[in-house]
Amino acid sequence: MHVDLGGVLGATPGVSRDSLERLDEQVATAHERIAAGRDDHERGYAALNLPARVDLDAIRSAVAPFTDAEAVLTVGIGGSALGAATLADALAGPDDPDVYVLDNVDPEHVPRLLDSLPLERTAVNVVSKSGTTAETLSNFLVVREAMADAGVDWTERTVVTTGESGNLRALADAHDLPSLPVPDGVPGRFSVLSPVGLAVAAIQGHDLDAIRAGAAEAADSLSGSLFETPAYAYGAAAYALANRGATTNAMMPYAERLETFAEWFAQLWAESLGKDGLGQTPTRALGATDQHSQLQLYRAGPREKLVTLLRPTDRPACPIPETDLEGLSYLGGSTLGDLLDAEFDATGASLAASGVPVIRVEIDGIDERSLGALLYGMEAACVLYGELAGVSTFTQPAVEWGKRAARGLLGGGEFEEAEAVEERTSLRIDP
Amino acid sequence: MHVDLGGVLGATPGVSRDSLERLDEQVATAHERIAAGRDDHERGYAALNLPARVDLDAIRSAVAPFTDAEAVLTVGIGGSALGAATLADALAGPDDPDVYVLDNVDPEHVPRLLDSLPLERTAVNVVSKSGTTAETLSNFLVVREAMADAGVDWTERTVVTTGESGNLRALADAHDLPSLPVPDGVPGRFSVLSPVGLAVAAIQGHDLDAIRAGAAEAADSLSGSLFETPAYAYGAAAYALANRGATTNAMMPYAERLETFAEWFAQLWAESLGKDGLGQTPTRALGATDQHSQLQLYRAGPREKLVTLLRPTDRPACPIPETDLEGLSYLGGSTLGDLLDAEFDATGASLAASGVPVIRVEIDGIDERSLGALLYGMEAACVLYGELAGVSTFTQPAVEWGKRAARGLLGGGEFEEAEAVEERTSLRIDP
């Protein structure tokens, strides 16, 4: 991962070179805190040790029964789904098994997806650390029933990734299912480099060692200075910009295969840093498509924005055929990649010309090693930002209220939050 | 479309009932301006006349050769693609032809998609008002070549939607292709109820009359008071909240099939209102999924947010099987829809308990009539917001800079913007 901060100097909001140098003293302190947390394998910091600790052989062994699958269905939500989806969407080749994710309880979508799958050739990858996530368990119950209805023995087609105890662990034990651990001290949004993210990649046949090697290189590059560490450069600059008014961070990859990465990033950034009135609202965009949707706003709207442009430097060739269409001959002889890269550069310059801060992030290509480095790098960036902001990076207390309310509404116990739902103020306008 | 503003009263930022009543005087004035624009068929306002003006028979006739297609490939970008994609993703049934969109020039994605399509049974729907959009024309040239390579006569498989003159119009004339007009005075992001959005729906066999009828009902409901017009209630409240600090608008449908609607909305809102330092940054979310990704931030992050919760009140049934899994018996006997609706209510209440402003939008179901009403309603909401803010709702001047720069970089002429790209400030951090 290569990071270029040139586009934040002199922007509005912006950070000067001098400010970055002053900030670097805080980065040194934060880096020591992070290193100590890693040494002690503290909750959250432990995620940054995964490249050295994850047991890839255990993953390959657990999914060995499914390597002939035509489809892989992950049943999970949030951090239990986004890492696996990110790797699949980035790395899958046309001949790999198709990857699907049930990360919502939509009564129209779930049965329709199940109807379309070859269930007897589908691997079901159920992921829930607690084993009690309402959405995941509900979906799993529906999947299990669909398999039974189709005459498929679900115990032959299911791999479970869960914590040391709970429903799913008990189920795996009772039915002798292959199972993998959610590592201790690793929040879901930081779990992509654990079995939570890697099991599907293993079924698809991707090179887990290369993913780990890329992540390990990023881990080795962590130092006490943002000027020597791309991940810290990103995290520190984003933090400084947020302090100066950039409450939004538009993550805009210039590659279709990184679209899901932007969703993964949005969870990482939102759930880790959105605390105490602080944080940055991630907004997901896609280059070049969203130049025709969001760029007007980015250039001319409120000045509360950092735009992160991300691209692979290596792209396959896809020539644009020559044409005699009027005014378009300049395109002939170029490639789609030339056009996309020209738009990447043009958008960066266009934002700079308006004074909007831009950080350019480049990876070498869309391959296992580069993805490992990118994912680890963004996790380290997030942890650094959290240290600098002084927030509780690895918790998500604000989501508990709604979980209790929903459970109460469904008759799963007495919860005062459910009563609050009933007292809603209404001012309804009907046609 | 039903709008409930109860969740903005007393929130932070919030709007009081008194403030809404004062604002209603401005709504009355703005409504008169909008009505006058519609009467004179002025640029932009003309979009609100589409339900009365669009020629559905012309659309059905243009696509008649393709109603046996197995796949529909739209080649377009931004407003030329999002409306069609929104309708397809909302309305498509499992037996309808699959809909694909080439709205990016990704050199990996484009050939891979074309390799996977049954080209001889694919309808290609090329959309560009000017006929010179670089991304669309480049992709179309690649598609045309792929068809030639596969022995398919592209002139038999292509329908063109474009302006009165230009490359695509000339091409349609030269090859006698079925063609449809991009209506005068209708910007791309307001064109979903024109052939730009409806041609694909026609190929998929959806009920265009019902889409139009839903939109016409929404048009008929426009009045001079936000308290009587759901669309204006939404637009006026969003405007008032933006003025009070809600620079972000999180659009969060609770339905997988409305995920693309959120992208359509994001373009409408960003490109129309992001001007003069004003506007609201749309961020796309999906319920219940993003409760596990974004909700922590929405509740506890910066107070710059309006959250829009959207759902259909009618959902199909999908029972959750009974279970003896510990602590989950409360789910058995419920349906996935019950769970999703409980989460919708719980999230709204959870945000209210934190003082975050919420607008609830409900549609009757995910069908043609409801979609027509929703799309028209949001367009009217956006136009009203633009009037209240005094911005130039129907232009997008800030995107031109980047277009010129990209063209210059590709050798398509001398543009000073391309020179600015070369002068980029760099502060690069490598691993």
Say yes or no for a CB contact (<8 Å) between A256 and B109: yes
CB B313, CB B364: distance < 8 Å: yes
pLDDT score at A333: 86
- Whether A25 is in a domain gets the answer yes
Statement: residue B333 has pLDDT above 90: no
Statement: residue A285 has pLDDT above 90: yes
Statement: residue B67 has pLDDT above 90: no
Query: pLDDT per residue over A176-190, tens digit each?
Result: 999 999 999 999 999
Assess B223–A contact: CB distance below 8 Å, yes or no: no
Statement: residue A326 has pLDDT above 90: no
The residues in B 269-288 lying below 8 A from A, measured between CB atoms, are 270-271, 273-284, 286-288
Assess A324–B contact: CB distance below 8 Å, yes or no: no
Q: Name the strand (E) or helix (H) holding B100.
A: strand B98-102
Q: Same structural domain for residues A367 and A226?
A: yes
Mean pLDDT of B45-70: 97
Query: pLDDT per residue over B171-228, tens digit each?
Result: 999 999 999 999 999 999 999 999 999 999 999 999 999 999 999 999 999 999 999 9
- Whether A50 is in a domain gets the answer no
Distance CA A288, CA B133 (A): 12
Mean pLDDT of B84-111: 97
Phi, psi dihedrals of residue A246, rounded to the nearest 5°: -85, 80
Q: Same structural domain for residues B30 and B150?
A: no
**How many structural domains comprise chain B?**
2
Q: Which of B104, B142, B331 to mutate to test the interface with A (most CBs of A within 10 A)?
A: B104
Nearest CA in chain A to B357: A425
Distance CA B353, CA B400 (A): 43
- Whether B193 is in a domain gets the answer no
Which residues from B are below 8 Å from A427, CB to CB?
4-6, 9, 17
pLDDT score at B60: 98
Q: Same structural domain for residues A303 and A171?
A: no
Statement: residue A324 has pLDDT above 90: no
Statement: residue A419 has pLDDT above 90: yes
What percentage of chain B reaches a pLDDT higher than 90? 96
- Whether A256 is in a domain gets the answer yes
Which residues from B are below 8 Å from A406, CB to CB?
339, 342-343, 345-346
Query: pLDDT per residue over B356-373, tens digit each?
Result: 999 999 999 999 999 999
Quickly list DSSP for B354-389.
TT--EEEEEES-SSHHHHHHHHHHHHHHHHHHHHHH
pLDDT score at A325: 85
Statement: residue B320 has pLDDT above 90: yes
- Whether B285 is in a domain gets the answer yes
Quickly list DSSP for A362-385.
EES-SSHHHHHHHHHHHHHHHHHH
Distance CA B381, CA B359 (A): 13
Q: Same structural domain for residues A114 and A161?
A: yes
- Whether A124 is in a domain gets the answer yes
A-B Cβ pairs (cutoff 8 Å, strict): 496
pLDDT score at B328: 87
Assess A316–B contact: CB distance below 8 Å, yes or no: yes
Nearest CA in chain A to B77: A289
Assess B361–A contact: CB distance below 8 Å, yes or no: no
Within 10 A of B219 (CB to CB), how many other CB atoms are there?
A: 23
Q: Which of A103, A350, A391, A426 to mutate to test the interface with B (most CBs of B within 10 A)?
A: A350
Statement: residue A163 has pLDDT above 90: yes
Q: Same structural domain for residues A146 and A220?
A: no
pLDDT score at A95: 92
Nearest CA in chain B to A288: B104
Say yes or no for a CB contact (<8 Å) between B429 and A227: yes
Mean pLDDT of B86-101: 96
The residues in A 148-207 lying below 8 A from B, measured between CB atoms, are 167, 170-171, 188-189
Statement: residue A342 has pLDDT above 90: yes
Range of the domain at A249: 2-36+212-389
End residue of a domain, out of B130, B162, B182: B182
Distance from the B192 Cα atom to the nearest Cα atom in chain A, whole angstroms: 14
Which residues from A are below 8 Å from B300, CB to CB?
274-277, 279, 397-398
Look-up of token digits 């949005």: A266
The residues in A 60-119 lying below 8 A from B, measured between CB atoms, are 77-79, 82, 94, 103-112, 115-116
Q: Same structural domain for residues B276 and B170?
A: no
Across the beta sheet with A2-4, what order do the strands follow?
Answer: A281-284, A248-253, A305-312, A358-363, A2-4, B428-429
Which residues from B are below 8 Å from A266, CB to CB?
293-294
Strands B248-253, B305-312: pairing is parallel
What percentage of chain A reaches a pLDDT higher than 90? 97
Q: Same structural domain for residues B333 and B235?
A: yes
pLDDT score at A348: 97
A108, A132, A325: residue with CB nearest B167:
A325
- Whether A46 is in a domain gets the answer no
pLDDT score at B159: 98
pLDDT score at A47: 98
Nearest CA in chain A to B245: A302
Distance CA B287, CA B256 (A): 8
Q: Same structural domain for residues A363 and A247?
A: yes
Distance CA A253, CA A404 (A): 36
Please say if B292 is a catalytic residue: yes
pLDDT score at B141: 96
Nearest CA in chain B to A337: B107
Distance CA A398, CA A415 (A): 16
Mean pLDDT of B25-54: 98
The CATH number of whichever domain residue A132 belongs to comes to: 3.40.50.10490
pLDDT score at B325: 85
pLDDT score at B326: 83
Say yes or no for a CB contact (<8 Å) between B132 and A170: no
Distance CA B205, CA B189 (A): 23
Handedness of CA A236, A240, A241, A246 (dihedral sign): positive
Which residues from B are below 8 Å from A431, CB to CB?
1-2, 217-218, 221, 229-230, 373
Chain-wide mean pLDDT for chain B? 96
Q: Same structural domain for residues A383 and A406?
A: no
- Helix extents (H) in B274-320: 295-300
What percentage of chain A reaches a pLDDT higher than 70? 100
The residues in A 406-425 lying below 8 A from B, measured between CB atoms, are 406-407, 409-413, 417-418, 420-421, 424-425
Strand partners, B335: B319
Which are the catalytic amino acids of A?
271, 292, 403
pLDDT score at A67: 85
- Whether B233 is in a domain gets the answer yes
Assess B303–A contact: CB distance below 8 Å, yes or no: yes
Say yes or no for a CB contact (<8 Å) between B217 and A431: yes
Distance CA A409, CA A422 (A): 9
Identify the CA nearest to B366 among candidates B194, B191, B211, B249. Answer: B211
Mean pLDDT of A352-378: 98
Strand partners, A179: A160
Chain-wide mean pLDDT for chain A? 96
Statement: residue A304 has pLDDT above 90: yes
Distance from the B420 Cα atom to the nearest Cα atom in chain A, whole angstroms: 7
Say yes or no for a CB contact (<8 Å) between B94 and A116: yes
Q: What is the pTM of this model?
A: 0.98
pLDDT score at A376: 98
B107, B274, B317: residue with CB nearest A336:
B107
Q: Same structural domain for residues B230 and B120?
A: no
Cβ neighbours of residue B249 closer than 8 Å, sequence gap 6 or more: B238, B242, B269, B280, B281, B282, B283, B305, B306, B308
Say yes or no for a CB contact (<8 Å) between B342 and A111: no
Say yes or no for a CB contact (<8 Å) between A323 and B137: yes
Say yes or no for a CB contact (<8 Å) between A255 and B108: yes
Q: Same structural domain for residues A411 and A366?
A: no
Mean pLDDT of A40-56: 98
Q: Same structural domain for residues B321 and B379?
A: yes
Query: pLDDT per residue over B244-270, tens digit each?
Result: 999 999 999 999 999 999 999 999 999
Q: At B90, is the pLDDT very low, low, confident or very high (cuts 50, 70, 90)? A: very high
